[in-house]
Amino acid sequence: MKKKRYFVFFSLMIAVSIFSCIFGMGILEGYLRFTQRYRLNTFYWKELPGKSNSRLYRNASDLLVGWEHDPGGATKINSLGFPDVPRTIKKDDQTFRIVVLGDSVTETGEYVGFLEHALNTSGLGKKFEVWNCSCGGYQAVNYYGLLREKVLGFNPDMVILGFCLNDFNPAPIIFKDSSSGRLKGLGTQLQGIPTYYGFFVNSFLFLNSYAYRFLVITTQKILRGRKAMAENKPGEVALWALTHIRDLTQRKNIPLMGVIIPYLKNRYSSAEEEEYATMRHLLEETGIRYLDLHGDFTDRDEPSLRRSPQDGIHHSEAGHRVIARILHTYLLQDLSWWFTRN
């Protein structure tokens, strides 16, 4: 009888504790939603450089992708959610489809369209589609997520990575390294919140629950305070992403190349020189074919190349015509490595 009373007592205590936790989490969730603390900073309107229209972004369902365009949420975004002309996934045998991944330099520019026109007037006996699948703020790890989650479903015959020099900087997302089991990713999608990794994080809860994000970040801060976590080495995330992009395209027999698009200035700071050197080194280490455009822009201080006078990153229409011309010439120099899949 006494054992039964103890069992009932402890069962009741456990039930009360569980109820208290659920109730407390509900109160915490409501408070954090009301105060907007620990909110995701990936669902926002953003005025793009040199453009009169704003574009709506939304959280992507996959943390590797991070954020994405809202299809139909603003002008110049097609039904697939990209800053491109209307496209259909179905294609015939005479169509050669190139998908370009990039950040705001590609998103706000025209070189993708110029390249499509140039290829279609080259007499190669194919209809060329050059898709602009870029999104502002994307970096190498976002490219891998987008390639894996969406782009392969578009049945590309070639993939081009349009790199801005800052694309190998710390990525504002997290991912789980299958080799070590640790979550990695420098930077954060949260305003003023440090990096979080090193333990299991549920993507669905992280994207949808303020209280869950609070617990993840708080735990991460405690671990940091105990010096139990090591920082990622420079370029580690980018190397991880590039390796996975290379392996994924090789398994699918899809030609892959990168394009290094320079900043619009003749003299780089030491940090920018390091970005440039790291990008070249990692592309060479992973064996990804790439085209470096620095030598083709002889005067990067030329004002006509800039989208706006103070913008040293985003190219004007004239700058994008230069990019398209160089890419077109490069591709036509050796058709054997990429024009063989169809």
Rounded CA Rg of the chain:
24
- The type of residue at 285 is E
Q: Beta strand 95-102 with 158-164: parallel, antiparallel or unpaired? A: parallel
Report helix, strand or coil for 37: coil
pLDDT tens for the 342 residues of the chain, in order = 566 666 767 778 888 888 888 888 889 888 888 887 766 543 333 333 333 334 455 655 555 566 677 776 656 788 888 889 999 999 998 999 999 999 989 988 799 999 999 999 999 989 999 999 998 878 888 898 899 889 999 999 999 999 999 888 754 444 444 444 443 433 333 332 333 333 456 667 776 788 887 887 777 666 554 443 344 455 777 888 899 999 999 999 999 999 999 999 999 999 899 999 999 999 999 999 999 999 888 888 888 898 888 888 899 999 999 999 999 999 999 888 787 665
Geometric angle at alpha carbon 332, from 326 and 335, rounded to 5°: 135
Using the 8-state DSSP alphabet, how is residue 254 labeled? -
Give me the CATH topology for the region 83-170+234-333. Rossmann fold (3.40.50)
- Side by side, the strands of the sheet bearing 158-164 are 127-132, 95-102, 158-164, 256-261, 290-292
Total Cβ atoms within 10 A of residue 198: 19
Indicate if the alpha-carbon torsion angle 140, 144, 150, 153 is positive or negative: positive
Residue for token pair 């996959």: 62
Indicate if the alpha-carbon torsion angle 28, 34, 35, 39 is positive or negative: positive
Instruction: For the chain, give every domain's residue range.
Output: 1-35, 83-170+234-333
Q: Beta strand 45-47 with 54-59: parallel, antiparallel or unpaired? A: antiparallel
Total Cβ atoms within 10 A of residue 331: 22
Distance CA(188)–CA(174), nearest Å, equals 8
Residue 196's contacts (CB-CB under 8 Å, 6 or more residues apart) are 174, 183, 188, 216, 217, 220
Please report which residue ranges of the chain form alpha helices under DSSP H: 2-35, 104-107, 111-120, 140-149, 203-208, 210-225, 236-251, 270-286, 317-333
Backbone φ, ψ for residue 256 (5° rounding)? -135, 135
**Closest Cα partner for 261 from 329, 164, 169?**
164
**Closest Cα partner for 32 from 205, 210, 249?**
210
Report pTM.
0.72
Q: Please state the length of the chain.
A: 342
Residue for token pair 């030598």: 295
N-term to C-term CA, the chain:
80
Could you tell me which residues are beta bridge partners of residue 47?
Answer: 54
